[in-house]
């Protein structure tokens, strides 16, 4: 049975629907990145796939944790591993390949369900909207195949050419409790943020289709 490593950026991270989907077919392990001791261990490099989740920190941070994460990602890339980045995870991947991570010039954020501006219609078949929850975006680099564009931010989804590496600025993994917890901890609430009631209503409209899409994607690539 294939093994999948889920890398989080909070000690008490909720893995959302991803753990439910993956546990049906794979052995999954989750780890708080800050607790990783040996970035080059054979055990750590022995997984079939790696999923990097989001977090409050910026990919532009000069912290030891973020710098170590770049080192770890580069090892995985060199080993031709399957890598999936969500939000911060996607930004870290993009930055390695030359993208800039930036704030919106009008200080806008994206928090709420937003319709995907699909470039690859086949990849996003049967889904229309995904939850956005971020205040920084990704610029294009020549290593990317863009799968979806953003509105207030340039890129929503991409694949690295000739690699098994995917990046999603949005959050396909969310469940209702995650949304509530994230929203409660918002401070301050900036322009571009939907009300909690609207987000939860939109979640109910989209969650079933997004669950099926995420399941199909993960089972196909892993």
Sign of torsion over alpha carbons 106, 108, 113, 117 = positive
207 as an active site residue: the answer is no
64 as an active site residue: the answer is no
Catalytic residue among 69, 87, 110, 143: 87
Catalytic residue among 69, 110, 136, 173: 173
Bridge partners of 7, per DSSP, are 31, 52
- State yes or no: cis peptide before 188, omega within 30 of 0: yes
Residue 80's region, left for phi above 0, alpha for psi from -120 to 50, else beta, is: left
Q: d(Cα 114, Cα 108) in Å, to the nearest integer?
A: 14
87 as an active site residue: the answer is yes
Q: What are phi and psi of 51, to 5 degrees?
A: -120, 120
Contact 48, 222 (CB under 8 A): yes
3-state secondary structure of 52: strand
Exposure string of 31-62, with b = 16+ CB inside 10 Å and e = fewer, is eebeeeeebeeeebbebebbbbbbbeeebeee
- The catalytic residues are 87, 171, 173
């Amino acid at each position: 049975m294939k093994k999948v490593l889920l890398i989080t950026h909070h000690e008490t991270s909720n893995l959302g629907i991803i753990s439910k989907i993956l546990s049906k077919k794979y052995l999954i392990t989750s780890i708080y990145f800050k607790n990783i001791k040996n970035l080059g261990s054979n055990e750590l490099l022995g997984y079939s796939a790696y999923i990097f989740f989001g977090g409050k920190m910026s990919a532009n941070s000069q912290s030891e944790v973020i710098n170590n994460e770049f080192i770890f990602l580069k090892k995985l890339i060199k080993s031709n591993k399957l890598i999936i980045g969500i939000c911060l995870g996607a930004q870290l991947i993009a930055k390695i390949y030359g993208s800039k991570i930036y704030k919106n010039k009008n200080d806008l954020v994206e928090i709420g369900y937003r319709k995907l501006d699909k470039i690859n219609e086949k990849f996003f078949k049967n889904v229309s909207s995904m939850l956005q929850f971020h205040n920084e975006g990704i610029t294009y680099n020549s290593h990317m195949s863009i799968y979806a564009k953003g509105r207030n931010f340039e890129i929503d989804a991409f694949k690295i050419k000739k690699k098994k590496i995917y990046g999603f600025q949005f959050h396909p993994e969310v469940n209702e409790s995650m949304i509530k917890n994230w929203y409660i901890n918002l401070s301050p609430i900036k322009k571009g943020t939907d009300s909690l009631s609207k987000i939860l209503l939109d979640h109910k409209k989209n969650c079933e289709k997004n669950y099926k899409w995420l399941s199909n994607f993960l089972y196909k690539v892993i």
